């Protein structure tokens, strides 16, 4: 029998798939790969159904992976910002680019806080 996965392991391995209705492609069913994971059923089972309007249901299914990517991008961008900040003081174009990067990082951090339910 496979060992039980922790919540963090489930989060790292959960994948969401999309099925759409043949009658109405805007009605989607988004489900996790819960049967291939171990651990608490309530942690690994995801099932969402509903009308997605003009939005792509695959966008919803990609949300966990996008969250991981956004987190990685924020960390990398912050490191780059800190490494390059001393150049910005000497060059107006670099300073403007650094300000834009700072604004983008702030917006991404705010979105990540909302996505994690920490707002």
pLDDT in tens, 35-88: 999 999 999 999 999 998 888 888 888 888 888 889 888 988 888 888 787 776
pLDDT, tens digit, 9 for 90 and up, residues 17-40: 999 878 888 899 999 999 999 999
pTM equals 0.69
For residues 67 and 107, membership in a common domain is answered with yes
**Nearest-angstrom CA–CA distance, 17 and 115:** 19
Q: Is residue 1 in some structural domain?
A: no
Which has the closest alpha carbon to 13: 42, 41, 34?
A: 34
What's the structural domain count of the chain? 2
User: 83 lies in which domain range?
Assistant: 63-115
Region for 4 from its dihedrals, namely left if φ exceeds 0, alpha if ψ lies in -120 to 50, beta otherwise: beta
Residue 99 domain-assigned (yes or no) = yes
Residue 36 lies in a domain: yes
């Amino acid at each position: 029998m496979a060992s039980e996965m922790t919540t963090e392991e489930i989060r790292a391995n959960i994948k969401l798939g999309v099925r759409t209705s043949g009658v109405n492609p805007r009605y989607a069913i988004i489900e996790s790969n819960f049967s291939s994971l171990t651990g608490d059923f309530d942690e690994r089972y995801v099932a969402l159904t509903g009308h997605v309007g003009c939005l792509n249901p695959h966008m919803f299914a990609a949300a966990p992976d996008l969250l991981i990517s956004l987190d990685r991008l924020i960390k990398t961008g912050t490191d780059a910002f800190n490494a390059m900040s001393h150049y910005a003081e000497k060059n107006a174009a670099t300073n403007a680019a650094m300000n834009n990067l700072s604004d983008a990082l702030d917006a991404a951090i705010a979105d990540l806080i909302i996505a994690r339910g920490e707002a």
